[in-house]
Amino acid sequence: MYRQEEECMMKKTLRQLGMAVALASVFSMTACSSQVGKQAETTKAENGTQAESQEKTEVEKDSTAQEAKQGDGEQQTEEIKGGFSDRPEAKDIVYHPLKLTPEEEEAWKKEPAYGKDIQIGYNGGLCTGTFGTAQEEGFYKAEGLSTAISQMTEAKDAVATGKVDIAADHLASVFVPAVNGLNLVFTKGAHSGCKTLYVLKDSEIQSTADLKGKTVSLSDGIGNSDHNIALRFFSNDGIKPEEVKYKVVANDAVIMALQNGEVQGAMMSDMFARKFVDEGIIRPIRSLTTDPDFKIEPCCVQIMNADFAKENPITAKKLENASIYCSQWIEDNKETFVDLLLEKNWASGDRQKVLDFANSLNFVLTDQQTETAMRKVIKDYQSFGLLDKNLKEEEIVEKFWKPMD
């Protein structure tokens, strides 16, 4: 992934050593999490067993990957406490900027982006708050990068056209357009969770199977994230795409559409739905946030302009290193993270509810978890007819998956 062959071989050896140590302790871990909502009994039993096994495997991989990454970090980064932001909490942040060799330092200075403002695409919001946080808390500055937050209309188009150099978008929104020709690559999972399939609380619908022949509302259109996520929910439960109907309904009309019977299910973001859950109007039956077969997958992914990544490999690596350590800081400091976003008007609403939403997301996803999810998405989307079935999975992954670690 844009590195010299010798470095790659050295890191591979370190990972293998890290994995050997990590595996000794990992197998004692158990996966535990209950799925929100009931599935059809037969499907639930089958999926439950598979999901528990899958989750345990992913937890093991996660621990191993974190051990390996820590080993890598000790070889490539240095520790610096404070000094990169004027925010009061930043004095206690321990930064881990990449430690370049003299040769890498010279190579970095020759990159087109060196010394220039790197455009970070971020419109606010909690889900992609790593970008704003890395800017405000000094993670980019610690890497020696000059960065600026830039507003966008559509993240994937802004990145592909070079209006911004890096941003984040729903994997379910950006994957098909990317494979179909957008000039971008995927570099990191941004976070898990955030979207759920809801029904009225007093509805007789208890599982996805009960929605066969019925209509589900989508707020962002056919072929976008809500639609593609719903297709995967149903597919995982053995329900074919043609067995469910869909209708585009704006967020401000979705509750009424449920109550008047226009739709029987609704895809919503958890943050938007929280008010109606608290009021006892709706309840979840399938979720990216809590269901074992989805909560280990990234909902959003970081995307980078493909030309930028290719022409600026060290800059790209520094951007991702800042993101990796900022994401960990967010996981460890959710309250401070939420306060920052509220202060900057990057989030709004009741602080406790925003914090609850932040706590429902996992900002620290391994590259293995992200790659595994992408491979599942490829298979699913080809089965739905969203991607050309003649495309090779390995070729898609090789072309578009470019983690920088």
Nearest to 304 by CA among 166, 122, 155, 113: 166
Please indicate, yes or no, whether residues 268 and 302 belong to a single structural domain of this protein: no
Q: How many CB atoms lie within 10 A of CB 370?
A: 22
Residue 151 lies in a domain: yes
Chain segment 260-314, per-residue pLDDT in tens: 999 999 999 999 999 999 999 999 999 999 999 999 999 999 999 999 999 999 9
Question: How high is the pLDDT of residue 404?
Answer: 81
Domain boundary among 232, 256, 287: 287
Residue 21 lies in a domain: no
Ranges under pLDDT 70 in the chain: 1-75, 405
Please indicate, yes or no, whether residues 220 and 129 belong to a single structural domain of this protein: no
Residue 222 lies in a domain: yes
Nearest to 127 by CA among 327, 404, 284, 372: 327
Residue 403 lies in a domain: no
Residues near 34 by beta carbon (within 8 Å), at least 6 away in sequence: 290
Question: How high is the pLDDT of residue 10?
Answer: 38
Please indicate, yes or no, whether residues 109 and 242 belong to a single structural domain of this protein: no
Q: How many CB atoms lie within 10 A of CB 20?
A: 12
Chain segment 127-167, per-residue pLDDT in tens: 999 999 999 999 999 999 999 999 999 999 999 999 999 99
Question: How high is the pLDDT of residue 36?
Answer: 34
Domain boundary among 260, 287, 314: 287
Residue 341 to residue 325: CA distance in whole angstroms: 18
Q: How many domains does the chain have?
A: 2
Residue 55 lies in a domain: no
Please indicate, yes or no, whether residues 302 and 313 belong to a single structural domain of this protein: yes
Please indicate, yes or no, whether residues 161 and 259 belong to a single structural domain of this protein: no
Please indicate, yes or no, whether residues 90 and 187 belong to a single structural domain of this protein: yes
Helix axes 313-332 and 334-343, enclosed angle (nearest 10): 110
Query: What's the pTM?
Result: 0.81
Residue whose entry in the numeric block shows the structure tokens 């955030």: 194
Please indicate, yes or no, whether residues 174 and 323 belong to a single structural domain of this protein: yes
Residue 205 to residue 372: CA distance in whole angstroms: 31
Residue 51 lies in a domain: no
Which token pair is 38?
A: 């009931």
DSSP per-residue codes, 250-285: -GGGHHHHHHTTS-SEEEEEHHHHHHHHHTTSEEEE
Please indicate, yes or no, whether residues 85 and 162 belong to a single structural domain of this protein: yes
**Amino acid symbol at 258:** L
Residue 326 to residue 147: CA distance in whole angstroms: 15
Domain boundary among 287, 311, 336: 287
CA of residue 253 relative to chain centroid, distance: 28
CATH number, domain with residue 353 = 3.40.190.10
Please indicate, yes or no, whether residues 89 and 215 belong to a single structural domain of this protein: no
User: From its phi and psi, is residue 2 left (phi > 0), alpha (psi between -120 and 50) or beta?
Assistant: left
Residue 202 lies in a domain: yes
Please indicate, yes or no, whether residues 210 and 187 belong to a single structural domain of this protein: no
Please indicate, yes or no, whether residues 99 and 245 belong to a single structural domain of this protein: no
Span between the terminal Cα atoms of the chain, in Å: 8
Residue 35 lies in a domain: no
Question: How high is the pLDDT of residue 405?
Answer: 65
Please indicate, yes or no, whether residues 94 and 176 belong to a single structural domain of this protein: yes
Supply the DSSP symbol for 298. Answer: E
Which structural domain range is residue 205 located in? 195-287
